[in-house]
Structures are given as structure tokens and as C-alpha cells.
Amino acid sequence: MKFTAGDPFCLSSDDGCSNLGADPLEQFAHEIERSPNVKKLFGSLIVILALFAAAQAAAPDQPFMEAARADLQKAKAELQLAMRDKGGHRAKALSLVNRAIAEVNAGIAYARRHSHAAAPDQPHMQAALDALNSANDNLDKAEADKGGHRAKAIGLVRDAMAEVKLGIDAGR
């Protein structure tokens, strides 16, 4: 087979282009080395495949529970940064958040042990948990000086969150 100069699989020489007997894999490798566009194409393809594989591997099996845990961890961090002189209420709220985090972790572990990873979350219980998380976030953002009532509300919201999580687990 005779190739002409400029042919994608042409191994250039001064007297034209002859690839008789050349290994097709070597021809292909040579073309990749010569062409910046082909290099970019294969580089992009590798990146896309790697991102797709990473996305598949990183997909959480309990997305709502993991989101709730992230929200609770955010609330915990904010409570830890808050000033300490809150009559013990900040510390109690922090303790309740830690307990809620433990319950979420236990719920995730329970679901994994009992093969609930593919089962859909109970929609009304999950919606209630989402609303409680939102209330919790808003209470955390409110000014601290509320005569201790804000802190009590935070504690009650978190207790309710824990109960909803237990209810979700019990309903499975």
C-alpha cells in the first residue's frame, strides 16, 4: 500500500511516503505524536472517562441522610464558633447535634446492612426532615440573644429531627 505525504498514517521521508510493512499500531502512535489535535482529543476523552468513573464511584447510597449529616455538621461547626456565654444552652445544643449526627450515621449504617440503599426514602418523612433542617439552619443564623428561647428551639428541632430519622428507619 502506498501512502501520500499528508496522509494520516504516512511516515514521512524525503522521497515520499511509503508504509509498506509498517505496523498499524506504530502508524497510529506516530500520528498521535504528530498531531496536536489528536492529542487533545484523546486527552479530553481520557478526562471525560475519568470524571464519569469518579462520578459513578462517588454517588452516595443515602443522599438525603448524607445531606442531613452535612447540614448537622455545619450547624455543629457554627455552634463551636459561637461565644461560650449562653447559660449552658449552646453546649447542650452542641451535645444534641452530636447525638443527631450519631443517629444519622447509625441510620446510614443500618440501611447499608439491610440493603436499603436502593429503596426510596419515605417522601413525607423526608420532607419533614428537610423542613426541620431548614428551620435548624435559620435558627442558627438568628441573633443569639433571645432570652434562651432560640437555644431551646434549636434543641427541640434537633430532637424532632432525631425522632423523624428513627421513624424513617422504623418504616423500612
Same domain for 98 and 67:
yes
Q: How far is CA 117 from CA 64, 113, 166, in A?
A: 11, 9, 16
Domain of 164 in residue numbering reads as: 63-170
Q: How far apart are CA 105 and CA 6, in angstroms?
A: 62
Per the domain annotation, does 4 fall within a domain?
no
Per the domain annotation, does 111 fall within a domain?
yes
DSSP annotation of 12 = E
Residue whose C-alpha cell is 444534641: 96
Same domain for 154 and 108:
yes
Per-residue pLDDT of the chain (172 residues; tens, 9 = 90+): 455 555 555 555 554 555 555 677 777 666 666 666 766 776 777 777 777 666 555 556 678 888 888 998 988 888 888 888 778 888 888 898 889 888 888 888 887 887 644 445 567 778 888 888 888 888 888 877 778 888 888 888 799 888 888 887 776 6
This prediction has a pTM of 0.39
Same domain for 102 and 23:
no
Same domain for 125 and 44:
no
Same domain for 137 and 70:
yes
Same domain for 97 and 29:
no
